[in-house]
């Protein structure tokens, strides 16, 4: 009986040792990620001030003593003073105090309300807009959601989703690009498919869903992805696959096409033609052509944002007319043509395109994009002004009706100094930088 007990104990000890060894090895490959809190999206109501004009300061505006407001995200502001960072709400209340983090930034991956932070030890992680830790501040480096960590003396890369969950299959140094259709504003998106540099599409569980040909491919958009392969004649061309991996548009295009948006993708002719670019639908049929194919580059039509449509419009630089908006039928419009406010539409200075994204169209009041006299505003794709013409710079929040803005000094008007701060869609400052050196 005693011998049996000793033998049993030895087996248990061996299994325990083996298990510990396996766990240690597993941890060396798969970093342990503890989810502490969740990503948060806050509903931020807008406060209006009847009688106040764009560029004026609200009577109850928060005044904060900082060097600058770095950015606004979902109604909270990253602020900086010297080398220190903090997080404050629109009333100036501290969510994260000075000194807790040495760096605070917003990731480039759309769309997330997480904030990237770094501590004094140089370790990095993510917090939510309430200051709660979502992904532990324990990584040697994080670029978007590619996380790096020192494990057993080795510099290891792993992959995390926006909830801090480990995605297997990337400890060998492979990097990935996120893709997916962007949801309407205020709807944070969960990433549902990725593209690896090895030419594989994987899901969030790390499972390979599509293996690309040797030519490689681009991230999915609008249910389609551009891929490169042999066209059957020994030539490398571009076509499109759907989400099942089926080649639905053959390898036809010499130049990489744009992504599909609003059911259209832009392509270019390989040889001289009577057009500069064309748009195809999801069957590969040409819907319409753009430009004349002129030899002189001055007379060529050139797209902004790779010709991608956003909310029904693409922007093009049209010879002798500057930037214009093109609808999904190939019709061009001046920006002022779609403004629904008659007073603004008849403004003799007009509207001139600067850039556009999901938040709207940044427009200016002169033809010259480098002019010191430029005043900017934000126009929606429905033709309504989101933020009025009143600012030297303006950057809207993706997730609230507020924007980071700067109004320059107007020497023609007394008591009208330069102001940096946060404005509502009325253009009224609800938060201002008290430190006059704080010009971003």
pLDDT tens profile 190-216: 334 556 656 677 665 556 678 776 767
Res. 330 pLDDT band, cuts 50 70 90: very high
The separation between CA 350 and the C-alpha centre of its own chain, rounded to angstroms, equals 29
pLDDT of residue 244: 87
185 secondary structure, DSSP code: T
In 3D space, the residue among 294, 312, 378 whose CA is nearest the CA of residue 344 turns out to be 378
In this prediction, residue 105 has a pLDDT band, given cuts at 50, 70 and 90, of: very high
Contacts of 246 (CB under 8 A, 6+ apart): none
Check residue 418 and give its pLDDT. 83
Omega within 30 of 0 (cis) for the link into 170: no
Instruction: Provide the sign of the torsion angle of the four alpha carbons 355, 359, 360, 366, taken in this order.
Output: negative
What is residue 421's predicted lDDT score, i.e. its pLDDT? 96
Residue 101's pLDDT band, with cuts at 50, 70 and 90, is very high
Q: Quick one: three-class SS letters along 228-261?
A: EEECCCCCEEEEEEECCCCEEEEEEECCCCCCCE
What is the per-residue DSSP string for 335-391? GGGG---HHHHT-TT--EEEEEETTEEEEESSS-TT-TT--EEEE-TTS-EEEEEEE
pLDDT of 161: 58
Average pLDDT over residues 166-184: 43
pLDDT at 53: 92
Which two tokens mark 69? Answer: 């407001």
Q: Are 182 and 311 in contact (CB under 8 A)?
A: no
pLDDT: is 191 or 421 the higher one?
Answer: 421
Predicted local distance difference test score (pLDDT) of residue 295: 74
pTM more than 0.85: no
pLDDT at position 2 over 70? no
pLDDT: which is higher, 207 or 432: 432
Q: How buried is 311 (Cβ within 10 angstroms: 0-12 exposed, 13-18 middle, 19+ buried)?
A: middle
Band (144; pLDDT cuts 50, 70, 90): low
Answer whether 357's CB lies under 8 Å from 341's CB: no
Neighbours of 436 (CB within 10 A): 10
Average pLDDT over residues 54-63: 94
Query: Is the sign of the CA dihedral 410, 440, 323, 73 positive or negative?
Result: negative
Inform me whether the pLDDT recorded for 47 exceeds 50: yes
Beta carbons of 238 and 226 less than 8 angstroms apart? yes
Count of other CB atoms within 10 angstroms of residue 95: 16
For 202-259, what is each residue's pLDDT tens digit?
Answer: 665 556 678 776 767 887 888 888 999 888 888 889 999 998 889 999 999 999 999 8
Q: Which residue has the higher pLDDT, 89 or 170?
A: 89
pLDDT at 435: 64
Distance, CA of 379 to CA of 42 (rounded, Å): 24
pLDDT confidence bin for 15, thresholds 50/70/90: very low
pLDDT over 70 at 422, yes or no? yes
For residue 157, pLDDT over 60 is answered with: no
Handedness of CA 181, 185, 187, 191 (dihedral sign): positive
């Amino acid at each position: 009986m005693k011998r049996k007990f000793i033998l049993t104990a030895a087996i248990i000890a061996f299994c325990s040792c083996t298990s510990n060894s396996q766990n240690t090895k597993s941890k060396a490959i798969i970093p342990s990620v503890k989810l502490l809190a969740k990503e948060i999206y806050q509903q931020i109501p807008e406060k209006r001030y009847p009688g106040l004009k764009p560029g004026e300061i609200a009577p109850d505006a928060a005044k904060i003593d900082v060097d600058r407001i770095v950015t606004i995200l979902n109604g909270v502001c990253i602020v900086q003073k010297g080398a220190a960072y903090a997080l404050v709400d629109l009333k100036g209340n501290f969510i994260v105090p000075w000194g807790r983090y040495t760096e605070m930034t917003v990731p480039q991956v759309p769309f997330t309300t997480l904030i990237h932070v770094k501590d004094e030890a140089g370790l990095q992680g993510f917090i939510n807009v309430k200051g709660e830790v979502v992904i532990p501040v324990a990584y040697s480096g994080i670029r978007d959601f590619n996380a790096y960590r020192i494990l057993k003396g080795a510099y290891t890369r792993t992959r995390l989703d926006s909830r801090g969950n480990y995605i297997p299959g990337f400890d060998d140094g492979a990097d990935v690009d996120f893709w997916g259709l962007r949801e309407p504003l205020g709807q944070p998106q969960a990433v549902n498919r990725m593209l690896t540099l090895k030419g594989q599409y994987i899901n969030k569980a790390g499972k390979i869903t599509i293996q690309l040909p040797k030519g490689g491919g681009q991230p999915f958009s609008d249910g389609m992805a551009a891929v490169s392969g042999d066209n059957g004649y020994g030539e490398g061309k571009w076509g499109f696959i759907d989400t099942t991996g089926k080649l639905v548009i053959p390898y036809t295009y010499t130049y990489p096409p744009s992504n599909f948006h609003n059911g259209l993708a832009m392509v270019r002719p390989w040889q001289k033609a009577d057009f500069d670019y064309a748009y195809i639908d999801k069957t590969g049929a040409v819907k319409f052509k753009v430009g004349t194919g002129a030899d002189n580059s001055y007379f060529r039509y050139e797209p902004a944002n790779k010709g991608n449509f956003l909310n029904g419009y693409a922007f093009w630089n049209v010879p002798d007319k500057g930037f214009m908006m093109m609808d999904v039928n190939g019709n061009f419009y001046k920006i002022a043509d779609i403004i629904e406010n008659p007073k603004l539409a008849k403004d003799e200075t007009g509207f001139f395109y600067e850039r556009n994204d999901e938040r709207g169209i940044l427009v200016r009041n002169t033809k010259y994009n480098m002019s010191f006299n430029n005043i900017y505003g934000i126009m929606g794709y429905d033709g309504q002004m989101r933020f009025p013409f009143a600012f030297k710079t303006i950057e809207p929040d993706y997730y609230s009706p507020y924007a980071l803005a700067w109004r320059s000094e107007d020497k023609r008007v007394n008591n009208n100094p330069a102001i940096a701060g946060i404005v509502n869609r009325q253009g009224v400052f609800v938060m201002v930088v008290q430190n006059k050196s704080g010009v971003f």
